[in-house]
A and B are shown apart, each in its own frame.
Chain A
Amino acid sequence: MISTDATCAGTAATPKDFKSPLKPIWCPGCGDYGVLNALYRALAAIGRPPHEIAFVSGIGCSSRIPGYTTAYGFNTVHGRALPIAQGIKLANPELLVLVAGGDGDGFSIGGGHVPHAIRRNADLTYIVMDNQVYGLTKGQVSPTSPRGTRARSSVYGSMESPVNPLLYTLAYGAGFVAQGIPGDMDGLAAIIEEGIRYPGFAFINVQSPCVSFGEPDNQVKVQRTRMRKLAAEGHDPSNRLRAIELAQDYGQELYTGVFYRNPNPPPTHGSQIKALQDERKALKAGVTPTLSASDTHPTCC
């Protein structure tokens, strides 16, 4: 098997327990390595055994990530990780379900699924590795590329304004919105852990640089000097309006940390479904369902 399930009851989990023997295909220096390491740490802190974790992704460099963990992985099709993850979570609410992918995967081809996962408050943690470029297809503009980006598909400069993933998810009503960078491993691991612990849909935008096709002046080391920790700036993550204000600066300021955490999370999709199932089961207890004449009175309508 490609994955092991090393955490045994009783022994504390370590990041190594979540590391699969598969060697990442990413370019040396790719930001996604840092995201993976931060994730190992967060999962160790959470302590759920790998076989109780389902890790779903779309297609892209970043979407390779489930295979590098020991969790049950599902590397699906481009842009569709969120619906698949919701099916998994609803089918087995006991599982810890993680979703990951790129900016193109999440905000271009899969953009239509984001608001719906949020409005259902699906209990998922969604990590987008936002490198402002299509990495896997070798350097076309992505929905988060700044206007004027010269890329392989826009040699004279792109004409579209970028979408703002932070503002989008906040506006859709996400209860947890955060941003991190791979250069700040401790910070990123803490954000991922907090996102997983949040009861409901948690969105984490990671500014994860692409060394091969990204902006040379926006790489891991540079980011470290540019980042502004929200906590250090005194931001209160329960203040949604302030979070929205700060999120406007996406593309200019590199804020890291939690923009917004809903202090009163609404019920999750799964908990509402569970309640309905219990109610219907109680109502039908003792009644054996049959397909018989009693089901359909001859005077149908």
Chain B
Amino acid sequence: MNDLIIGMAGSGGDGIISAGESLIGAVAAEGYYGMLTKSYGPQIRGGESSCRLRVSTLPVLNPGGSLDVAVILDWDDFLRFGSELPVTEDTVIIFDLKSGVDRTSLPLNALWPKVLCGVPLEDMAIETAGVQQAKNSVILGLLAGWLGLSPDNLLVGLRKKFARKGDEVLAGNERAFAAGLGHARVNPLGRNLRLDRPATPLKQRIIADGNELCAKGAIAAGCTFFGGYPITPATEIMQHLQTDIWEHGGVVLQAEDEIAGVGAALGASFAGKKAMTATSGPGLSLKTEMLGLASVTELPLVCVDVQRGGPSTGMPTKCEQADLFAAVFSAHGDTVRPVLAPTTVADTYGLTVEAFNLAEQYQTPVILLSDQDIAQRKEIIDPVDPSRLSLVNRLEPTAAELQDYTRFRLTSSGISPLSHPGMKGGNYLAAGIEHDEHGAPTANGEIHGEMNHKRLVKFLPLRGRHDLFVMEGNPDSPLGIIAWGSVAGIAQEALRIVRAEGLDARLMIPKLLYPIAEEVFADFFAPLTRCIVFEQSHQGQLYRLIRMWVNVPPQFESYARSGANPLSPEDFVSQIRKLSRAGLRKEHADRADFLNPL
């Protein structure tokens, strides 16, 4: 097989997550691609935890649907994750015999898996390592055997992990691992789980999550100031920057709240530096006023929003794409700010750089709309070469312009040179209050109109940014699919499945969500009679945003589900099939009601 999904669940102390991390390290070392997603119960520490690892010979697009292998240390813990760890009768179930469950008492709702494999995990751990905590090392041994992974690669990870715990602990875990491996060798499974050799030659790949690459992208873009406040699932961006930024002459400020965090970043930008803040939904709400100030003072600023379940505190550890409206609209007055959404972990790197470039180019706040899934899942990706990035810096006044500097000069592009304190002759007043070309406060309607125009006209070139869209499939097909953020990878796989079945379709993945790139959408929609937008929110926010700005195909559908509900390629495939068979409507159906249109 060339694609395998393993799900594991246990209690906090069982080391399920760390087993997943060892496993992704080992498969990376063998040249496979992979994606590791983790899920926890609501407890701060302890409680149930789970992870799913998808391994493939080709780049992995999404965490996938039902499991090929389920490793169950505790049935109650496993069942609590419900549809996050879906099993079918083809799922190989590996469980601890200690649980007392057998074929007759499976708590799987009358589902009868073909391969059921009880292993005395806890007994083996105690026998070999003296402690039941070594269960996860037994599991790694079992999986190495059944999947045909090199034990050496797993042992590297094991040694690294236990290096600081002392020789005794390491030796015990090595014995536990060997016991698992031995067990797998003498007890073949009823189903072959051996992975094909990787298709691409072995390359040194990296394992990273979206938050880490956001931080690295920021540094590559030249960011030297970060102001923020801890919030799940965005905190790691601040943490990564906190280790790396100082040597670049940069600063991380853990502020007293989100307002102060974005305020300090805006101050740094005013002082001439590239600056960023990062948060999640509740923090985005607090930053809103300051984002408006950045728009009106025309100062570059990058604000990352790692979306989690909302509204309000919502579901901090779950993924949702419901902050799009907030990212686009949450500031008073006539403002526009670019909103970008990365679609994969690797993409987060380049798109963070793009966010800085747009901010500098257009002297504007830019929102990078990541999501919990991309931000916290680990992917095995090909290394990125920072030297190939092209960086944009703000337009500064020339010496001649500084002789008679006019900060907010009305230009045809809407962009006027931006000075900063320390620059002689560039002195000006930046103000949230409406101002004339010189920065002097005004309440004149005519000037206000001109300034609004200036602040909006500068975004016109974004209408044709085809490079911020990924297109896949037949350009002439009348059937269209749109998906964004972490959902894009699911749609991509669904597209490949339906095309393999002979159903023609075309997929568009927008990374620039706002302003709506009217030209790109018009081109994409031109041949379409039907189109469906997949997203993880209740209202279908992108679907509605598109309808606000462009003419849509006659049959324009939304498939939107609230966050924390897993979306799978199979699910999307059936939606696409349904749409392709549905009778074509003559006129566009009215979808004015704001409930989920499906």
Binding site for B on A (CB under 8 A): 1-5, 22, 49-54, 56, 59, 64, 66-67, 70-77, 80, 82-92, 94-95, 112-113, 115-116, 273, 276-277, 279-281, 283-284, 289-293, 295-301
Contacts and interface: CB of A to CB of B under 8 A. Distances in A.
A299 B208 contact: no
B386 interface: yes
B441 interface: yes
Contacts of A273: 246, 251
A180 B225 CA distance: 35
Contacts of B424: 5, 49, 51
A5 B428 CA distance: 10
Interface of B: 18, 21-22, 24-26, 28-29, 156-157, 160-161, 204-208, 212-213, 216, 219-220, 224-225, 227, 244, 246-247, 249-251, 253, 255-257, 259-261, 263-273, 275, 289-290, 292-293, 297, 349, 378, 380, 383-387, 404-407, 420-433, 438-441
A73 B430 contact: yes
Contacts of B247: 277, 280-281, 283-284
Nearest to B289: A77
Give the secondary structure class of B's interface.
mixed
- Among B251, B349, B383: residue with most chain A CB under 10 A: B251
B160 A289 contact: no
Given A3-B429, A74-B267, A83-B267, A90 B251 contact: yes
A299 B264 contact: no
- Among B271, B292, B384, B406: residue with most chain A CB under 10 A: B271
Contact of A75 (B227, B261, B383, B431): B431
Nearest to B243: A280
B248 to A, nearest CB: 8
Contacts of B405: 1
A66 B439 CA distance: 12
Contact of A51 (B255, B384, B425, B431): B425
A54 B259 contact: no
**Which 5 pairs across A and B sit closest by C-beta, in order of nearness?**
A87-B267, A299-B25, A87-B264, A293-B204, A83-B263
Given A87-B275, A113-B256, A56 B267 contact: yes
B86 to A, nearest CB: 26
A283 to B, nearest CB: 7
A98 to B, nearest CB: 11
B251 A51 contact: no
B225 A5 contact: no
Contacts of B290: 77, 80
Contacts of A74: 267, 270, 297, 429-431
B207 A91 contact: no
Nearest to A90: B251
A95 B427 contact: no
A169 to B, nearest CB: 16
